[in-house]
Amino acid sequence: MVSRQGGEHPHGADADADGDALVRARSRRFRMLEHLWSSPINILGSLLVLSVLVEAVIGRAVAPYSPTLPQYGASFSAPSWQHLFGPDEVGRDVFSRVLAGAGSAMEVVVVVVGIGATFGTLLGLIAGYAGGWIDELLMRLTDIFLAFPVLVLAIAIAAILGPSLSHTMLALTVLWWPWYARLIRGQVLALREREYIEAARAAGVPPFRILWRHLLPNTMGPLVVQLSLDLGYALLAASSLSFIGLGVQPPEPDWGLMVNDAQPYLRSDWWVGAFPGLAIVVAVLGFNLLGDALGEMQETRYGR
Q: Are 73 and 222 in contact (CB under 8 A)?
A: no
Q: Is the pLDDT of residue 4 over 50?
A: no
Q: What is the pLDDT of residue 304?
A: 45
- In order of 27, 186, 294, 300, the CA distances from 214 in angstroms are 22, 15, 21, 19
Q: Is the pLDDT of residue 7 over 50?
A: no
Distance CA(176)–CA(152), nearest Å, equals 13
- Dihedral angle over CA of 92, 96, 99, 103, nearest 10: -60
Which of the residue ranges 29-38, 179-188, 202-211 would you say has the lowest mean pLDDT? Answer: 29-38
Which of the residue ranges 21-30, 71-80, 95-104 would you say has the lowest mean pLDDT? Answer: 21-30
- Report domain extents, the chain: 31-57+83-302
Q: Is the pLDDT of residue 212 over 70?
A: yes
The yes/no answer on whether domain 31-57+83-302 falls in CATH 3.40.50.300 is no
- 9 C-beta neighbours (distance < 10 Å), count: 12
Q: What is the pLDDT of residue 274?
A: 92
Q: What is the mean pLDDT of residues 150-172?
A: 87
Q: Is the pLDDT of residue 5 over 50?
A: no
- What's the pLDDT tens digit per position in 22-73? 555 455 556 666 666 677 888 888 899 999 999 999 999 999 999 988 887 7
Residues 6 or more apart from 205 whose CB is under 8 A from it? none
Q: What is the pLDDT of residue 3?
A: 44
Q: What is the pLDDT of residue 234?
A: 92
- What's the pLDDT tens digit per position in 117-132? 999 999 999 998 888 8
Residues 6 or more apart from 157 whose CB is under 8 A from it? 167, 170, 171, 174, 175
Torsion 73-76-79-85 (CA) sign: positive
